[in-house]
Structure 1
Amino acid sequence: MNNNIKLKKIGKQTVKLDNPPKIIAAYSIVGPKEGEGPLGSYFDEILNDDLFGKESFEKAESEMLYTAITAAINRGKLKEEDIDYLFAGDLLNQLTSSSFAARELNIPFFGLYGACSTMSESLSIASMMIDGGFANYVVAATSSHFSAAERQFRFPLEYGSQRSPLAQWTVTGAGAMLLGKEGNFPEVTHVTTGVVKDYGVKDANNMGAAMAPAAVDTISMHFKDTGRTPDYYDVIVTGDLGKVGKEITGKLLLEYGYDIRSNYYDCGDMIFDDSIQNTDSGGSGCGCSAVVSTGHFYKKMIRKEIRSMLLISTGALMSTTSSLQGESIPGIAHAVAIEFKD
């Protein structure tokens, strides 16, 4: 054993990257409903039809993901053969959206499942891969589709079931980030990997409450590991908690001694106008933090309107089988610190 190896881990769950990878390009594509929301002007592509010209919603989701990946690569002025690895995931069984998109690409592929936390998960691993010297260019990407997710986790739309006021609307969208070593771009400086938290929530319509404890744990651990405080970041952004989960997270963090209320945002709370679009507690899904981070926040960083962001995508680690068997819903959250340094 070589005791001279320098560990990049700081604290309990955080890695400080010595060679922070740059996010040299990003691309977001969303469905019509998302395009009509408050953030519509930030998305790179808005579909007129959520079938995207395909035979099924599942095929449409895979095509969205493929489009986001290839567009990010093109935007970075690279070619497919320049990319060393693709990290991607989605909500569908056996990651079919990601796998079927990857089969159209000649790029080594890691399929990831972290439920709605997958964007931060893919970005975390992609960043560590470059920092470790294992790659020059990596793509991190994630997708979800409202109609595909509804019939997998709840009921097909044709069933016409009534939605709970606590429910969230799965975002139809895909986002991709292209990471490299060089250039004047926002860079990933720290990765805080979450642990699974389960506080006994069993209501599959109340994802915000199920995921909030994991978000609180990861955010507080990030501050403990790094020694940073909430005011270090211009924005602290959770991925998929919606109105209910965001409120719970803010209150619980106060009990930990962290007041994030002045700079705290949630992608699920931002992407829809719930009063007009009838989205109840807001947005969710893998695509939620993916499109808001690659669309809204990345563009703000490129324009230097914000210089630092802590992105915490949150996921509910459930399946239809676990719900039918009466299991509670475990949550997970991963945090990535993104900073724009001159």
Structure 2
Amino acid sequence: MGKHVGRQTVVFDRPPVIASGASVVGPKEGQGPLASYFDEIWKDEMDGEKSWEKAESKLMKRAITLAIEKAGLKEENIQYILAGDLLNQLTASHFAIRDFSIPFLGMYGACSTMGLSMEVGAMLLDGGFADYVAVSASSHFCTSEKQFRMPLNYGSQRPLYATWTVTGSGSLVLAANGDGPRITAATAGKIVDYGIKDAFNMGGAMAPAAADVMKAHFQDLNRGPDYYDLIITGDLGYYGTQLTRELLEKEGFLLDERYTDCGIQIYDKEAQDTHGGGSGCGCSAVTMAGYLLSEIQKGAFHRVLLIPTGALLSPLSTQQGESIPCVAHAVVIEKE
């Protein structure tokens, strides 16, 4: 089937280049271990806006603008923006992108949205449908808690396994040609549902989807985890990461110290009291556009498997007592 390998994987004939990346984050993220990799750090969660939702849109608009500038391009050079967020009907993305005169393709994979956008953006470029595309994702702690769990002013206690939604937006400009890290392959995930209904237990809900897509990736390409310098999931946190290890070990794939999670990297668990780690669309987006891209460009990593993970719940499904279906998308980034 040409570029399609195995059941779920695409290998690109003309691997697109990551031309630039930009990340804009909130104050808590700016106090974490990855602070030096972020382009802008806000002093507060609102940055002068009248609502948390408006602030989240501002995060994404700024990240996209910076990524285009850092690529040495102008708005008219970008053929498509692929982006998404967690708010109802992609609200944050729509209001962020309405001022750009660029065709928009809305992406929704919950917290896997950055991986989904990179995957589809790479397909557009490899297929010859564009020269440059921008991809982006955002989340905001306050908007997510308000929508999916409890209003912040309610003051509910978070369980120890709960993760902390990242306030931030990460954006990349992908190019059909040029020098730099390349997206060489991608494995699209299937929806996996283990029956978890607890909206705080994001790591436990998403881990099976992460393990499922990693297994498919390794089998489709006939390679093992040792092919990569780094394997990093999107926002499973500490508990979901351990569960992913256990699930893959049962399938015969051992993940060593080269495996970690964006939700583990972005916060200092003890000093910042984030319980299970970080989560949200912005978690993998800002880690990719900041820390990962920078370290790949420096040569610290040559082969990276990024697996953003997403819990496909909604306020409606939660209220109706549904379980949480999940998905993950695996993207291969290589720089020789």
TM-score (ref. length: structure 1): 0.97
- Correspondence list, 1:324-339, <5 A: 324-339=319-334
Counterpart in the other structure of 1:138 = 133
Asked if residue 102 in structure 1 is aligned to residue 97 in structure 2, the reply is yes
The percentage of aligned residue pairs carrying the same residue is 54
- 1:312 alignment partner AA: I
Secondary structure at 1:116 match in 2: coil
- Correspondence list, 1:138-177, <5 A: 138-177=133-172
Q: 2:233 aligns with which of 232, 238, 249?
A: 238
Counterpart in the other structure of 2:81 = 86
- Correspondence list, 1:145-224, <5 A: 145-224=140-219
Q: 2:68 aligns with which of 52, 66, 73?
A: 73
- 1:218 alignment partner AA: V
- Correspondence list, 1:35-74, <5 A: 35-74=30-69
> Conserved in 1, the CA contact under 8 Å of 2:230 and 2:259?
yes
Partner Cα separation in structure 2 for residue 233 and residue 37 of structure 1: 26
Counterpart in the other structure of 1:21 = 16
Shift in Å, 1:38: 1.1
Secondary structure at 2:296 match in 1: helix
Counterpart in the other structure of 1:3 = none
Secondary structure at 2:329 match in 1: strand
Asked if residue 121 in structure 1 is aligned to residue 105 in structure 2, the reply is no
Secondary structure at 1:50 match in 2: coil
Partner Cα separation in structure 1 for residue 151 and residue 271 of structure 2: 23
Partner Cα separation in structure 2 for residue 77 and residue 327 of structure 1: 47
Structure 2 residue runs of 5 or longer lacking an equivalent are none
Q: Deviations over 1:227-253 (max 9, x none)?
A: 111111100000010001000001111
Number of residue-to-residue matches in the alignment:
336
Partner Cα separation in structure 2 for residue 295 and residue 249 of structure 1: 25
Secondary structure at 2:307 match in 1: strand
Q: Deviations over 1:57-106 (max 9, x none)?
A: 11011011000001000000100000000000000001011011110100
Partner Cα separation in structure 2 for residue 301 and residue 7 of structure 1: 29
Partner Cα separation in structure 2 for residue 52 and residue 23 of structure 1: 29
Q: 2:286 aligns with which of 287, 291, 306?
A: 291
Partner Cα separation in structure 2 for residue 200 and residue 299 of structure 1: 38
Question: Which runs of structure 1 show a deviation greater than 4 angstroms over 4 or more consecutive aligned residues?
Answer: none
Counterpart in the other structure of 2:29 = 34
Partner Cα separation in structure 2 for residue 320 and residue 96 of structure 1: 15
Partner Cα separation in structure 1 for residue 303 and residue 250 of structure 2: 25
- 1:70 alignment partner AA: T
Partner Cα separation in structure 2 for residue 302 and residue 96 of structure 1: 33
Counterpart in the other structure of 1:247 = 242
Asked if residue 314 in structure 1 is aligned to residue 303 in structure 2, the reply is no
Shift in Å, 1:183: 2.0
Structure 1 residue runs of 5 or longer lacking an equivalent are 1-5
Secondary structure at 1:23 match in 2: strand
Asked if residue 228 in structure 1 is aligned to residue 216 in structure 2, the reply is no
- 1:288 alignment partner AA: C
Cα RMSD after superposing both structures: 0.8
Partner Cα separation in structure 1 for residue 162 and residue 308 of structure 2: 18
> Conserved in 1, the CA contact under 8 Å of 2:139 and 2:169?
yes
Shift in Å, 1:192: 0.2
Q: Deviations over 1:12-49 (max 9, x none)?
A: 00000001000010001110000101111111111111
Shift in Å, 1:7: 2.5
Partner Cα separation in structure 2 for residue 223 and residue 19 of structure 1: 21
Secondary structure at 1:272 match in 2: coil
